[in-house]
Amino acid sequence: MSSVPNPSASDPDSPKQTLHYKIEESPKRFSETLFYAWQHTMVDISPFVIPLAVASAVGMSVSGRADLINACLFTMGIATILQTTIGNRLPIIQGCSAMVTGVIAPVAGQIGLAAVWGGVWIASILQTIVGALGWLSPLKKLFPPVVIGTVIICIALSLGQVATRLAVGSGHWSNFAFATTVILFVLILQLRFQKLFGGLLARGAILLSILLVGLVGGSLSGQMDWSPVREASWFAIPKLFPYGGPGFGWEWIPTAIFAVTIGFIGSIVESLGDYAATCAASDEPLQKRHINRGIMAEGAGSFIASLFGGLPCTSYTQNIGVIAATGVASRRVVQVAALILALYGLCPKFGTLLVSLPRSVLGGVFLLVCAMIAISGIRVLAQSTSEIRHAYTIGLTVLCSLLLPIRLEALPDATASWPLIVRLLVTSNVVLAIIFAVGLNAFFNLLDTRKKSSRSNERELAES
């Protein structure tokens, strides 16, 4: 999912800055290319925190969380190279999909990672086929802005529950202090130092705050455990099939496949808007090949991610802001950024360092990420009309998708006899949000169609 907009970067919808380098152009010096590429890696921080939702759902150890983050970073680089080379060839970063992760986390918590990654494998193949054959029109009709925006807000609120648990922890005052401090650091860097060093501090505010507050504060308070970091190696290729594979561990559970596929569908539709925004920021006309080849490449990237135990990939909007702010839309720059991200993923010590930071620091940053996801949803909703049916769609979807699972989880005896697919659907916030939003929108459209048909018949009778 176009996961987390960067508030410090320029809005791509604002008046365009003159491009210094267009998509097929490259900076003359490699040092300049490397600098711009590194800026992209500073902004695209979602892989550091979004996997924590899955890790928390299944109770992963420190080493397990580190392996998951490294796998996500490594496959993020591979998927970006794939997208920018043989996909839509736009300067857009690929990374962990918040929408699909919002589905995966509760499913993994109930039936395990083997079933989830089997579902990801199937869903990624289906996405690749849909993109290759150009079967996207029906999806766009099912997911207008009112549906997509509402679902994105529900994702933010769902993941926000995980972020809050990490930030608050046991309720000790130090947890609140760490979470508050890292949030304030990010806000100060993004709002007070927007122009310093060409905006570099503002764009890298989240990563800088994680490392500064987490490393310094965690070390001084004794909450930073350095032993796993010392034991981790400097270089290692992520393991193939860490949670099993086709024919040797993956579970083919239709319920998991169905739930994950629903998340993929929502992510596909959201990516269509990302391609349009990237083209607008890059002064490139949006063409059909951008859409079809882009969705195909995202599916292929998610397929590769499933092999290494990484989360499914989608297009990110953060680097669109970097393009608008720097005037550098070079595809080569993004390809170098992809190589840097892949190198991050090849360093277990880096991933272990991130997960060894105080959880309240990661939770505070995760809350900010969820806030940015919610803002993204609100911006999408702004594209829809202010009709009463849209208000009902938004209100009912948000309330039912968040409150129904809470109530049903408090009634384990009543739901124990329900079929697995029903239990998963009614206890997953994101799946419920997609079902409610799509269903209500279709219902109101049907009412409008019948109303228009009735008026047309009345006119014909009056004229006859």
Cα-Cα-Cα-Cα dihedral sign, residues 443, 448, 449, 451: positive
pTM of the predicted model over 0.95: no
How far is CA 117 from each of CA 52, 82, 110, 145, rounded to the nearest angstrom?
16, 21, 14, 29
CA 1 to chain centre: 4
Beta bridge partners of 244: 242
C-alpha angle 29/13/209, rounded to 5°?
65
Q: Does pLDDT of 454 surpass 80? A: no
Q: How far apart are CA 267 and CA 261, in angstroms?
A: 10
DSSP per-residue string spanning 255-277: HHHHHHHHHHHHHHHHHHHHHHH
Q: How far apart are CA 105 and CA 44, in angstroms?
A: 21
Interval 303-340: pLDDT, tens:
999 999 999 999 887 777 778 777 888 999 999 999 99
Q: How far apart are CA 187 and CA 426, in angstroms?
A: 36
Interval 242-280: pLDDT, tens:
988 887 778 888 888 988 998 898 889 888 888 888 888
Q: Does pLDDT of 425 surpass 90? A: no
Confidence at residue 14, expressed as pLDDT on a 0 to 100 scale: 44
Q: How far apart are CA 74 and CA 95, in angstroms?
A: 10
Q: Does pLDDT of 371 surpass 60? A: yes
**Mean pLDDT for the chain overall:** 84
Confidence at residue 135, expressed as pLDDT on a 0 to 100 scale: 86
Helices (H) and strands (E) in the chain, counts: 23, 2
The tokens of 158 are what? Answer: 């769902």
C-alpha angle 162/106/80, rounded to 5°?
80
What SS3 string covers 142-190? HCCHHHHHHHHHHHHHHHHHHHHHHHHCCCCHHHHHHHHHHHHHHHHHH
Give the type of residue at 42. M
Interval 20-68: pLDDT, tens:
888 998 888 898 888 888 878 877 666 678 888 888 888 888 889 999 9
Assess contact for 329 and 33: CB atoms under 8 A: no
C-alpha angle 43/49/54, rounded to 5°?
145
What confidence category does residue 123 fall into, taking pLDDT thresholds of 50, 70 and 90? very high
Q: Tell me the percentage of the chain whose pLDDT exceeds 90.
A: 26
Average pLDDT of span 219-231:
85
Q: How far apart are CA 302 and CA 314, in angstroms?
A: 8
With a CB cutoff of 8 Å and minimum separation 6, the contacts of 103 are 259, 260, 262, 263, 428, 430, 431
Q: Is 293 helix (H, G, I), strand (E, B) or coil?
A: helix
Interval 128-183: pLDDT, tens:
999 999 888 777 788 888 998 898 899 889 888 888 988 888 888 888 888 999 89
